[in-house]
Amino acid sequence: MTPRRWYPINIRLDDKPCVVIGGGHVAHQKVVGLLDATSRVTVIAPELCEELQRLHRDGVIDWIAKKYATGDLDGFFLAITATDDPSTNTQVYCDGERDRVLVNSADDPDNCRFILPSRVIRGELVISVSTGGRSPAMATYMRKRLEEEFGPEWGVLTELLGKARDAIRAAGRSTEGMSEKWEAAISEEVLELIRRGELDEARKAIDRCLS
């Protein structure tokens, strides 16, 4: 059977409990990513790197000081393994499949129910790049190129467009059928106004496009 593609998805974690297995620097990176989306992160590892120790001391994360064992996923919604032990990755994945817990294994797509794309984050604008786990180097390269092309002004523009959309809907108007107007508002003129810090003028330019 032809291998199926990964299905792209953004997931809202709110305060769903998540767990990271592993206590090293890769685990720290995964924890930081999760903390952007949920305040309930637990780490399972015999020892923690300095960065994770600091997060634990500050009460940001919980720590279960032990090696992973079957049953440790109980109560969690999502799990990420960040260890250098393939057998642990496999065990976590199998346990997750049995217990209906979403599992990602760092740099081990065969033991993943979901994978983490490279991301460029500009406020509420998130640009994701994925190679389906085939070439992390390519995903990283593309992320760096996108970081150069899409600066912080794009996050501000996203926020301004969102507020404009909210205002239109609050006035009882539909935002459907306005594709050309929205595209006109995403212009180099507006971006340049934002770069210069002229946000009021940027808002007026957006309103003119949407009127």
> Burial of 206 by CB count in 10 Å (0-12 exposed, 13-18 middle, 19+ buried)?
buried
pLDDT value of position 108: 87
Report, as ranges of residue numbers, the positions in the chain whose pLDDT lies below 50. none
pLDDT value of position 2: 67
pLDDT value of position 164: 96
pLDDT value of position 188: 96
pLDDT value of position 1: 58
pLDDT value of position 5: 84
pLDDT value of position 9: 87
Q: Which residue has the tokens 């960065």?
A: 51
Q: How far apart are CA 184 and CA 178, in angstroms?
A: 10
| 120 alpha-carbon distance from chain centroid | 9
> Burial of 157 by CB count in 10 Å (0-12 exposed, 13-18 middle, 19+ buried)?
buried
User: Nearest CA to 89 among 33, 39, 22?
Assistant: 22
pLDDT value of position 105: 94
19 contacts 41 by C-beta, under 8 angstroms: yes
| 36 alpha-carbon distance from chain centroid | 8
> Burial of 193 by CB count in 10 Å (0-12 exposed, 13-18 middle, 19+ buried)?
buried
